Structures are given as C-alpha cells and as structure tokens.
C-alpha cells in the first residue's frame, strides 16, 4: 500500500434530523439505521475507508432529548450550528387534517429554524406530513412538491401556491425535497447515498435492508376511501350520485342536474374542491372501484370494466395503468387479499 493510500482525506456525509416532540420515530430512526448499515458495509468492503456517514439530531429548542409520538425519547439533541449536507424534517402523529394543521402552528421555533437553514444554503427535505412544515414556513411557494397521499386535499387547500403532485413519491425542486409517507424517506435516503456518496454502496445497503430505491410513485397505494374529502353539500350530492350510478356512462350535464347546479358552476366547484374536472374525478372513482374489485374478487377484467361503467376494456386498461403505474394484472397480484 502506498503512502497516499494510507492518508486518504476523510469524506463526510451528514444528515441532520429535526428533533420535534410528537414526531413519528421511524422518520428519524429509519435514516439513522440506513446510514449506520451503509457505514458498516463500507468498512467491511474497505477497513481503511475514509468515508464517514452520520446522522445528527438537531433542535430549535435547545439540547436534551425529544419525545416521539409513542412516548419514547431519543437524543442527544444538538445545536443546529453543526455542518450538515441535509436537514430532514420528520412526520408527526395526527388524527385528522384539522388536527395536523393545528399541530403545525405549534412548531413555530422549528419553522424559524427551517427558514434560517434555508438562508444558509442547507438542503432541506420533508418526510410525510413534515412537508406541511416546509409549506407553512414558505419554503415551497412556487415549487413542485408531494406529501402523504391521504392529505392531498388538505395540503392543496392550505397551500395553493405549491404545485403539488400527489402521485410522485419523491419530488426534488432546487435544494428542497419532499417525500410521501414515512417509508418513502427510506428510498430517498438511498437515492441520496447513490447520488452523493457511492451508487454501489447504496445498492448494497438497499439489498441488505430490503428497501427498493427505485420506487417512484405513490399511485398504486392511493385509496380515495381514505383520503381527506372536501366537506360541502354540493360535493356530497355529487359523491352520492356518482357512487350510485358509476356502473354506467355518465355526462357532466347529468351530474350537474343531479346536483341542482349548472355545468359551469359544477366545473368551478370541482376545480376548487378536488383540483380536478368532474370527468377526471369520475375516472378516479372508476379506477378506485376497479382496484377494490381486483383486490377482493375473482371477476375477470372484462367483468370489472363493465361494473366500472366502461365499454372498452383496452382504453380502461390504459387509464388504470396511467393512474396506478401498474397493469390490472400486476395490481391484482400485488394487492389481492389472500386466504390466511
């Protein structure tokens, strides 16, 4: 071994984890574990590796520890003055969209810290509903972003200046990144390892931890039955009519008549409350019905298409693939209910 080999410069990659009381602990411990496993693998591959991968808990309310949503405490929490390659904002537990927005208001010091770190040029990422803190702090205005799929309506209504794309699992826009639910951040950290440190090490770490870094879409997991719905009498009338008549062809005029409004008012209402056209929403509902039937029945795809109000199986298959990123057959194989 040459003299230069024994004196390789140290290469550090440090992720800061924002310490927040009530946070979902896996949003913190998941990235911690990924970097620890990656560090061990790097040392196995090269015992003299100069690579130093680490996570640091940083807080906006002094040092000590932070209590997660289940009551467990993690620490120590350090000053945000440490050098970071990225500051990651975890998700936090909530019972509804309204509860989430109330909790966001209680994280004032954390939002001030995010603004300060952004001004320092530190890259920032938000995981799960932690994306709401980034948006509330104004860091997502005019940017593309994503969040947990079931919070789409609440996010879009609260932050109309953010260009939200709920189907994407990870969205990077400049030095600010947003991800979907808490497991999405695991894929994102592996992507960071690949792009900033070592692609081979990231691949090996993903294999060891059974994490797929190539997942790009939340679409297969989205369920309209679990999303936050707009609460409005016109919305409720529309939903009731559509669920009852979804098995047949429908027109916008017929839907407007059933809701007791004009087509123009209906279009305006759907854009405001759903971020979609009535036709787009009907297609979403039909895909949702198809997903449920693929999961829970042995009906053929042609039978499912008929029950979803389509006459052309080929065009519906294309719609389904576009909406979920999976073919109907692949979706059934992945998500169908299996006997115990």
Most confident of 24-28, 79-83, 122-126: 122-126
Q: Mind listing the pLDDT tens digit for each residue in 278-329?
A: 998 899 889 988 988 898 888 999 999 999 998 899 999 999 998 888 899 9
Determine if the peptide bond prior to 76 is cis (ω within 30°).
yes
Contact yes or no for 331/222 (Cβ under 8 A): no
The torsion region of residue 210 among left (phi > 0), alpha (psi -120 to 50) and beta comes to: left
Joined tokens for residue 41: 């693998």
**Structural domains of the chain in order of their starting residue, each with its CATH number:** 3-219 (3.40.50.880), 229-335 (1.10.10.60)
What is the H or E stretch that residue 261 is in?
Answer: none
The pLDDT tens digits for 102-116 are: 999 999 999 999 999
Q: Is the pLDDT of residue 211 over 50?
A: yes
Identify the band that residue 1 occupies on the pLDDT scale cut at 50, 70 and 90.
Answer: very low
Tell me which residue of 312, 316, 322 sits closest to 289, measured CA to CA.
316
Cβ-Cβ contacts under 8 Å for 166 (sequence gap 6 or more): 146, 147, 149, 152, 218, 222
């Amino acid at each position: 071994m040459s003299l230069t080999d024994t004196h390789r410069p140290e290469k550090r990659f440090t992720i800061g984890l924002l310490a927040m009381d009530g946070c979902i602990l896996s949003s913190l411990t998941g990235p911690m574990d990924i970097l620890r496993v990656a560090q061990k693998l790097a040392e196995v591959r090269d015992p003299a590796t100069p690579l130093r991968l680490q996570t640091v808990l940083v807080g906006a309310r002094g040092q000590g520890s932070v209590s997660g949503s289940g009551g467990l405490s993690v620490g120590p929490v350090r000053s945000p003055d440490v050098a970071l390659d990225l500051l990651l904002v975890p998700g936090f537990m909530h019972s509804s969209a309204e509860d989430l927005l109330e909790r966001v208001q209680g994280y004032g010091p954390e939002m001030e810290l995010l603004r300060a770190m952004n001004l320092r040029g530190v890259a920032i990422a938000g995981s799960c509903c932690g994306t709401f803190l980034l948006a509330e702090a104004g860091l997502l205005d005019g940017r593309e972003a994503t969040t947990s799929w079931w919070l789409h309506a609440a996010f879009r209504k609260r932050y109309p200046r953010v260009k939200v794309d709920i189907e994407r699992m990870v969205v990077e826009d400049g030095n600010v990144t947003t991800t979907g639910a808490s497991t999405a951040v695991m894929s994102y950290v592996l992507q960071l390892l690949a792009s900033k440190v070592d692609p081979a090490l990231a691949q090996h770490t993903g294999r060891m931890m059974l994490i797929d870094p190539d997942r790009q879409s939340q679409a297969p997991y989205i369920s309209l039955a679990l999303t936050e719905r707009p609460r409005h009498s016109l919305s409720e009338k529309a939903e009731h009519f559509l669920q009852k008549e979804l098995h047949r062809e429908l027109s916008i005029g017929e839907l407007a008549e059933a809701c007791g409004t004009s087509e123009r008012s209906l279009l305006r209402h759907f854009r405001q409350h759903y971020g979609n056209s009535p036709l787009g929403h009907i297609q979403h509902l039909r895909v949702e019905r198809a997903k449920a039937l693929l999961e829970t029945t042995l009906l053929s795809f042609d039978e499912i298409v008929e029950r979803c109000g389509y006459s052309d199986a080929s065009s519906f298959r294309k719609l389904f693939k576009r909406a979920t990123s999976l073919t109907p057959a692949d979706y059934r194989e992945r998500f169908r209910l299996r006997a115990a």
